[in-house]
Structure 1
Amino acid sequence: MRLLILGGSGFVGRAVADEAVRRGYDVTVFNRGQRDAPDGVTTLTGDRLGDLSALESGFWDAVVDTWSAQGEAVRRTAELLSGRAGYYAYVSSRSVYSGEQHEKAEDAPLVDAADEGYAGDKLRGEQGAAAFDGPVLLARAGLILGPHEDIGRLPWWLNRLARGGPTLAPGPRDNTLQYIDARDLANFLLDASLVHAAGPFDLVSESGHTTMGELLDIANEVTGGRAELRWTDPSVIEAAGIEPWTQLPIWLPPGELHDFLHDGDVSKAYGQGLVCRPVRETIADTWEWLQSLPGDAPQRADRPRVGVDPAVEAKVLGQ
């Protein structure tokens, strides 16, 4: 398998590159060269919004595109690689859905293509991928966790729990979670490329794969068991002005948004072979990776830092 990864040194792209190298594929990555690429790959340097000359020659069996900004960049590479690649997989997002009638899964209504935010960028990326002249996979991932995460969600929780002491745990404990480990996403992308699976796929674990309670209990155990989890009602958290998802990463209170993000139908992806590893493995491997770093975990410049202010947390807990 001759594989081209557009990206390849960050979070999801790195997971794809690592797995492809492990499988013995001939792997090429194309990016700006600002981060070290995994061992065993050929690196081409360029700019998705500028110089694509390094991609003007070469043939690949499959392309995996992890771009998350302007959709025009996806259109450019999809057109440029047409006739020289057999398959194009674009890592999109479940954010492209408008949030209405989510039970329809991949057929649910989409956001307005004029949306100026992340959802609009991803939808325009999907539209750009359609310029490719072969089969196109739209990998609509949900919450992505695992080693090399550069958003900071699971790393924040792990570092907070490792610090120990009374810890704000957002309830209810049995709040279900859907997510995908970046390595399981990589496996799906590579397996799909072998059979040229095309069209949209919602890619997260089944609803109830884990819960907020299980996630934090395991994370506390893995990081040394120093935290005293104090489960707090969502109404108390809301009254304190603490924002779900950002200030308390991963968590959403029960309601419509939670149901949309953590109770989706993923039967199509599972029917295509998606396998999601146990939550303990994702947590333990992410903690092991964090401990191996010489400094802080990487942080994407285009995403805000997550986490609640310690003073605010202490006030809510009555300290």
Structure 2
Amino acid sequence: MWLSGNSIAILAFLTWGLLPLYFQFIPNANVFEILSIRVVFSIPCIYLLLKIMSLPMERIWTAMQNKRVLLICFLAGIFNLTSLYSFTWAVTNGQVLAASLGYFMNPIFSIALGVLFLKDKLSTFQSIAVALSIAGIGCQVIYYGELPWISIIMGGAFALYGLMKKFVDLDALSIMMIELILILPIALCLIMSDLWQQTSVLYSGDNSKILLYLLSAPVTLIPLVLFSLAVEKISLIMIGFIQYIEPSIQFLLAVMIFGEVLLPVKVASFSLIWLGLLLCIADIIVKKRIGPKILRL
């Protein structure tokens, strides 16, 4: 591909960040139907990409004979669906700020999962960042009297999705194909249920709405594929820097385009989490600059 890894990553997160502009045209959507359509239509798209990139399907069939791989990929698919469901529900129900908060929290969840499951060690900056994020969530808990569940589920599920990929030795597109194949029966059951109960968008008679549902498959798949390609080309450090394009765009859309009310408690919550993310970035910069000097000594 003629684009650089950084360019591909920027395109991925720009697309993700702008998705609320698409979903505003289908408010109060049947989220399960949208996700089911996405699964069904994504399989031929991923198959075509595998062929274009000369990645053998035989490797996928071989991997699927391993029960451990099947379990991990199935869990990854469920976590991805959970995150996508939360995101889609949020942006089709006037909760774009909640979607933005969820993806701002995602790196902190990833750090915590790394400590719990991958034996990663928290640096001082990362420890402070986690504490600030907890404080940010705490602000909303105290004000609203409940946890910002949609944001926590969204960010946590996507972090778990990333964790699952650490345990499978396959390229990103092949893992995506296995995930889709494994959750295809669930998607087909949901589609058949909607058709049986005549609650499917197909019974609405609104051709533009039907088209929006169908196009939601490639619209949500494109950034995920771009992200997977970028991960193979550039370091996770760069991915981490570029990632914050997405929730930043969604935050601005929520306030400036969709007119969501930015209460002081949300300003305080976002500010604490932003500060935590800045500390994580500072930590990365310090390690990159000091590391080579230590080696020279």
**Which structure is higher in strand share?**
1
1 or 2 for the larger relative contact order (CA 8 Å, sep ≥6)?
2
TM score, norm. by length of structure 1: 0.26
TM score, norm. by length of structure 2: 0.27
**Which structure is higher in helix share?**
2
